[in-house]
Amino acid sequence: MAATSVTIRMYTVGFGDSFLVTVANDRTTWRMLVDCGVHAHGRPRIDGSSREIGETVDTIVSDLLEAAPEGAPPRVDVIVATHRHADHVSGFAEDAWSQVDVGEVWVSFVEDPDDPDAVSLRTEQDESAAAIARATRALAASGRPGSDSSFRAVAEDFAMNAVFEGPNLAAMTRLLGGDGTGFANTPTVRFLPDRNPIRNRIATSVPGATVSVLGPSRDPADLKRMNPPKKDHWLAYADDLDPTVTSAPRPLFAQPYIVDERDIATVIPEGLLEAAKKTRLDYLGSEVDALLAAAAVLERSVNNTSVFFVLDVNGRRLLFVGDSQEGAWRHVLDDPHARAELDHLLFYKIGHHGSHNATPRRFVEEVLDSRREPLYAMLPWGSVKAWDDTIPEPDLITALAGKSAHIVRADDVIDDDAVTSDPGGRWTQVSFTIPER
Partner 1 sequence: MLPTNDRPTIQLPERRRLRAYAFDPMSTRLHGRVLTLDIPFERGLQPGPMGTLLQVVDYDATRHVWYHPVDLDHPALLAQGGMAPSERDPRAHQQIVYGVAMSVIERFERFLGRRFEWRGSQPLRLIPHAFEGRNAYFDPERRAVVFGYFLADENPGPNLPQQVVFTCLSTDIIAHEVTHALVHRLRRYFAEATNPDVFAWHEAFADLVALFHHFAFPEIVAAAVAGSQTELREADAILDLAKEFGATTARGGALRTAIDSARTPEGFANATEPHERGAYFVTAVFEAFLDTYRSRIADLRRIASGGTGVLPAGALHPDLVNRVTIEAVRNADRLLSMVVRAFEYLPVVDVTFGDVVRAIVTADRSLYPSDTGHLRGTLVESLRQRGIFPEAVTSLADEALVWPQPPELPGGGPLTLAGDPLSDLESLIVATTLDLDVHGESGTIPWKRIRQSLLAWSRTYADALGLDPGHPIAMTGAHVSYLTAADRQPRPIIVVQFMQRREDLEAREGLKGVPLRAACTVIARVDGLVEAIVPKPLPRSTPTTDLPESLRAFAEQQDEAGRKRMRAILEFARSVADDDPLAAWLTAPSVLRIDFARLHANEEDEPRPPTDSGRGQPAMNDEART
Task: Return residues touching partner 1 (CB under 8 A).
Answer: 145, 149-151, 154, 229-230, 233, 236, 240, 247-254, 256-259, 264, 267-269, 271-272, 275-276, 279-285, 287-290, 292-293, 296-297, 299-300, 325-327, 352, 355-358, 360-361, 386-387, 389-391, 393, 395
Min. distance of Cβ 106 from partner 1 in angstroms? 25
Question: Of 2 and 267, which CB lies nearer to partner 1 in the complex structure?
Answer: 267
Is the Cβ of residue 182 or residue 360 nearer to partner 1 in the bound state? 360
What span, in angstroms and rounded, lies between the C-alpha atoms of 278 and 167?
46
Residue with smaller CB distance to partner 1, 301 or 428: 301
The nearest distance, CB 343 to partner 1, in angstroms, is 24
Q: Which residues of 73-105 are buried (b: 16+ CB within 10 A; e: fewer)?
A: ebbbbbbbbbbbbbbbbbbbbbebbeebbbbeb
Closer residue to partner 1 (CB): 49 or 266 = 266
**Closest approach of partner 1 to the CB of residue 353, in Å:** 9
For partner 1, give the closer residue by CB, 253 or 372.
Answer: 253
CB of 312 to partner 1, least distance (A): 28
**Cis link prior to 216 (omega < 30° from 0)?**
yes
Nearer to partner 1, 69 or 251 (CB): 251
The residue (of 190 and 231) whose beta carbon lies closer to partner 1 is 231
* Residues 168-184 as b or e (16 or more Cβ within 10 Å = b): bbbbbbbbbbeeeebbe
Rounded to a whole number of angstroms, the minimum distance from the CB of residue 281 to partner 1 is: 5
Residue 159 near residue 132 (C-beta atoms within 8 A) = yes
Amino acid at 105: V
Query: Residue 59 or residue 303: which is nearer to partner 1 going by CB?
Result: 303
Helix (H, G, I), strand (E, B) or coil at 209: strand
What minimum distance in Å lies between the beta carbon of 380 and partner 1? 15
Min. distance of Cβ 326 from partner 1 in angstroms?
Answer: 5
Closest CA to 380 of 65, 154, 29, 91: 91
Contact of 32 with 203, CB cutoff 8 Å: no
In angstroms, rounded to a whole number, what is the distance separating the alpha carbons of residues 380 and 391? 11
CA 95 – CA 77 distance, rounded (Å): 19
Residue 231's Cα: distance from chain center in Å?
Answer: 21
For the bound state, the minimum distance from the C-beta of residue 268 to partner 1, rounded and expressed in Å, comes to: 6
CB 189 within 8 A of CB 104: yes
Name residues whose C-beta falls within 8 Å of residue 33's C-beta, 6 or more positions apart in sequence: 18, 19, 20, 21, 60, 76, 78, 79, 80
